[in-house]
């Protein structure tokens, strides 16, 4: 292939619309062009990368027993109404009507269609297990489409669904996909981690995300370097650290595990609380006696204009962790207030799961004044009584002599204590995990990194099959719902994530397995017919040897071609020069390391095949 025979158009300036590295470099390298917000044309170079990623995915899905098909993008509302998601999916769902006023949507995901297909086609347990998949465009009306291919309104996704007769079968299918995903992302040359995650709108029980490590990643994960635990910060359980430290434990005894809903005896606090009772080696739950002598008298103090935790802490000269933060929400028209420590962040996913609701909106100033009857910025738990549903993070139970709003403008209370000064409806894990929290598996401090989600596995169970009547006859002739799993890979996200991870100041550094071309051939003397012929011949020789190659035959200065080669990110740059004509040597430069080698042209193809791990 010659550069002049394809469409490669690079940009020298960084487009103003692009604010992260992958978006900038994909536009500048001529792989992407914007059509509208969150909608892009994938140009020839980018399309070649997508095809290579898709080929790896197909090989591993087929190897694991997946069967490929293709489903429509337009989905009838009736199927979504059967599953119960038509009214709860939210504004991200593109909805439309045909000329007969029948409602449809553009598929953001395909649980309903796959479930309906199995309902129609599968009758007996003898036809299971079954794994069906497709690679297809998906559509989500993102409120703020941004970051190029990482958060678009149209994207390419691989989704596979497993159908089994029971939970044991689902476990087996899940393990197959888990192993296949590890192979896929390893073959794509990515540095990734597998983390526990929340299933979100998809639903189901167990779920794992595959995260590419990148400083610009949208997601945050916590992980333990002392064991193999890793989780999305929204999923990770937050344990309550003992104020007195763990108790000594006699040899051979087992630790007592308390659930987050456990109640303690009067006068005791629950420390090390966690909800992993199935793990006998999890962190110990220690009961710490409350030191009543430490409780100071409640004081009402003037705090003019201090509406935020930071402002209150600075005004009173105390750390933010000594402030009680109260956050107010409206869910299904019911006002809910939640207490967390001032230096913590509330985890809305955990709160939604606790409340079992899909609707959760932060209360604005009008809501706070109207529904709650409280002044914005000065609300607190003292005296709320039955005026609002009050919940608190587990950590609050162990705090003493805190500062909280006094429920009147410009005033706070000092020395606020749970039990004496206020009560709550319930304690639960409501906060967002952060660096330094306790590992729920081994008790060591967690570390935090940013990542980009490129794949996720879900155990759906019978959530969709029960709702939509996808039943089969078991070996006893009884009709039972099929047990489902769902397994997605963001193909376009994988492309963008690879760029986020592999780049430098000069451009992209593609892993050879997914590079648009593995090698670019550049003659130094473009107008030297001998060098041009050698470059053309060498490109054909490499291509015939199975190395994806392109010959840059443009009438441009050599320096421009070198810059474009680095920007586009070809793994190998091969220079044809006078030494090639006189001595038969070619210059090879490796994009990732910058190493330069001079080797005989006649042995270059075999050498590159070996170095690119093609043999």
- The confidence score (pLDDT) of residue 105 equals 95
Under 8 Å between Cβ of 172 and 164? yes
The span from the CA of 223 to the CA of 209, in Å, is 13
Structure tokens at 75: 């989905």
Instruction: Name all contacts of 287-296 with Cβ < 8 Å and 24+ positions apart.
Output: 288/242, 288/243, 288/244, 288/398, 290/400, 291/400, 294/400, 294/401, 295/400, 295/401, 295/415, 295/417, 295/420, 296/401, 296/414, 296/415
> What values do phi and psi take at 40, rounded to 5?
-135, 150
Q: Which residues of 249-281 are buried (b: 16+ CB within 10 A; e: fewer)?
A: eeeeeebebbebeeebeeeebbbbbbbbeeeee
Runs of H (alpha helix) within 338-471: 348-355, 365-370, 463-468
pLDDT at 146: 82
Three-state SS for 82? helix
Q: Which residues of the chain have pLDDT under 50?
A: 201-204, 243-290, 615
Nearest CA among 331, 322, 323, 314 for reference residue 379: 323
Domain boundaries, the chain: 3-235+448-499, 237-246+255-290, 295-428, 517-611
β-pairing, 507-508 vs 519-523, is: unpaired
Q: Which two tokens stand for residue 36?
A: 């509208």
> How far from the centroid of its chain's Cα atoms is residue 237's Cα?
17
What pLDDT is stored for residue 219 in this prediction? 81
| Percentage helix, strand, coil for the chain under 3-state DSSP, each rounded to 5 | 30, 30, 40
Rounded CA gap, 20 and 24, in Å?
A: 6
Asked if residues 461 and 482 have their Cβ atoms less than 8 Å apart, the reply is no
Count of alpha carbons within 13 angstroms of residue 233, beta-carbon side: 24
Whether domain 295-428 has CATH 3.90.960.10: yes
| pLDDT tens digit sequence for 532-574 | 888 888 888 888 888 999 998 888 888 999 999 999 999 999 9
Strand (E) or helix (H) holding 204: none
At residue 517, the 3 state secondary structure works out as: coil
CA of 479: how far to CAs of 122, 265, 287, in Å? 12, 48, 49
Residue 191: CB partners within 8 Å, gap ≥ 6?
212, 213, 501
Q: What are phi and psi of 321, to 5 degrees?
A: -70, -10
Q: Is 524:575 a contact under the CB 8 Å cutoff?
A: yes
Nearest-CA neighbor of 368 among 356, 377, 357, 360?
377
Beta-carbon contacts of residue 498 (< 8 Å; ≥ 6 apart): 49, 188, 189, 190, 212, 510, 511, 514
Structure confidence at residue 292 (pLDDT) = 63
The neighbour count for residue 147, using CB atoms within 10 Å, is: 21
Q: Residue 426: how many CB atoms within 10 A of its CB?
A: 12
Inter-axis angle of helices 491-501 and 44-63, nearest 10 = 110
Q: Output the pLDDT for position 287.
A: 37
Q: What angle do CA 26, 31, 33 make, to 5 degrees?
A: 85
d(Cα 380, Cα 342) in Å, to the nearest integer?
A: 12
Of 529, 494, 527, 498, the residue nearest 511 (C-alpha): 498
**Alpha-carbon span 391 to 356, nearest angstrom:** 14
CATH number belonging to domain 517-611: 3.40.50.800
For the 3-235+448-499 domain, the top CATH level (class) is alpha beta
> How do residues 576-607 score in pLDDT, each as one tens digit?
888 888 888 888 999 999 999 998 988 888 88
**Beta-bridge mates of residue 159:** 134, 488
Q: What is the pLDDT of residue 275?
A: 35
The contacts of residue 417 (CB under 8 Å, 6+ apart) are 295, 298, 400, 401, 402
């Amino acid at each position: 292939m010659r550069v002049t025979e394809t469409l490669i158009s690079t940009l020298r300036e960084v487009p103003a619309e692009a604010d992260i590295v992958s978006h900038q470099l994909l536009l500048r390298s001529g792989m992407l062009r914007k059509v509208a917000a969150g909608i892009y044309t994938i140009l020839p170079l980018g399309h070649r990368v997508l095809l290579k990623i898709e080929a790896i995915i197909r090989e591993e899905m087929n190897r694991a027993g997946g069967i490929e098909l293709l489903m429509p993008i337009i989905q009838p509302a009736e199927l979504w109404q059967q599953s119960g998601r038509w009214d709860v999916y939210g504004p991200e769902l593109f909805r439309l009507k045909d000329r007969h006023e029948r409602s449809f949507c553009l598929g953001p995901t395909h649980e309903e269609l796959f479930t309906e297909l199995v309902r129609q086609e599968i009758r007996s347990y003898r036809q299971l297990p079954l794994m069906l998949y497709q690679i297809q465009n998906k559509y989500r009306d993102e409120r703020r489409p941004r970051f190029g291919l990482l958060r678009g309104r149209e994207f390419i996704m691989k989704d596979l669904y497993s159908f089994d007769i029971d939970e044991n079968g689902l476990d087996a299918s899940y393990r197959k996909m888990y192993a296949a995903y590890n192979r896929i992302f390893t073959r794509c040359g990515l540095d990734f981690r597998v983390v526990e995650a929340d299933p979100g709108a998809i639903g189901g029980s167990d779920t794992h995300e595959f995260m590419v490590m990148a400083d610009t990643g949208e997601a945050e994960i916590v992980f333990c370097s002392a064991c193999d635990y890793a989780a999305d910060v929204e999923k990770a359980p937050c344990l309550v650290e003992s104020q007195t430290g763990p108790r000594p434990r006699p040899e051979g005894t087992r630790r007592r595990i308390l659930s987050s809903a456990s109640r303690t005896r009067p006068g005791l606090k629950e420390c090390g609380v966690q909800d992993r009772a199935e793990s006998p080696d999890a962190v110990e739950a220690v009961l710490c006696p409350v030191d009543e002598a430490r409780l100071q008298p409640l004081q009402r103090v003037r705090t003019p204009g201090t509406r935020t935790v930071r402002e209150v802490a600075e005004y009173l000269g105390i750390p933010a962790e000594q402030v009680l933060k109260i956050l107010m929400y409206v869910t299904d028209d019911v006002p809910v207030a939640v207490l967390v420590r001032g230096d913590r962040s509330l985890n809305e996913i955990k709160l939604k799961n606790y409340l079992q609701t899909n609707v959760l909106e932060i209360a604005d100033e009008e809501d706070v004044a109207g529904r709650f009857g409280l002044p914005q910025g000065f609300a607190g738990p003292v005296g709320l009584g039955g005026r609002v549903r009050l919940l608190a993070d587990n950590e609050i139970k162990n705090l003493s002599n805190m500062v909280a709003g006094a429920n009147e403008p410009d005033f706070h209370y000092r020395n606020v204590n749970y039990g004496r000064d206020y009560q709550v409806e319930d304690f639960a894990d409501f906060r967002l995990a952060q660096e330094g929290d306790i590992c729920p598996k081994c008790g060591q401090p967690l570390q935090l990194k940013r990542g980009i989600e490129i794949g996720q596995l879900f155990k759906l169970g019978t959530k969709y099959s029960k709702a939509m009547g996808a039943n089969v006859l078991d070996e006893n002739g009884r009709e039972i719902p099929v047990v489902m799993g769902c397994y997605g890979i963001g193909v376009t996200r994988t492309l963008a994530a690879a760029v986020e991870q592999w780049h430098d100041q000069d451009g992209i550094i593609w892993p050879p397995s997914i590079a648009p071309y593995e090698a670019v051939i550049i003659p130094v003397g473009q107008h030297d017919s001998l060098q041009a012929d050698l470059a053309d011949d060498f490109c054909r020789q490499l291509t015939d040897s199975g190395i994806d190659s392109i010959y840059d035959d443009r009438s441009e200065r050599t320096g421009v071609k070198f810059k474009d080669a680095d920007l586009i990110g070809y793994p190998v740059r091969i220079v044809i020069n006078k030494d090639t004509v006189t001595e038969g040597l070619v210059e090879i430069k490796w994009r990732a390391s910058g190493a330069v080698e001079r080797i005989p042209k006649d042995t270059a193809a075999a050498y590159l095949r070996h170095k690119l791990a093609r043999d």
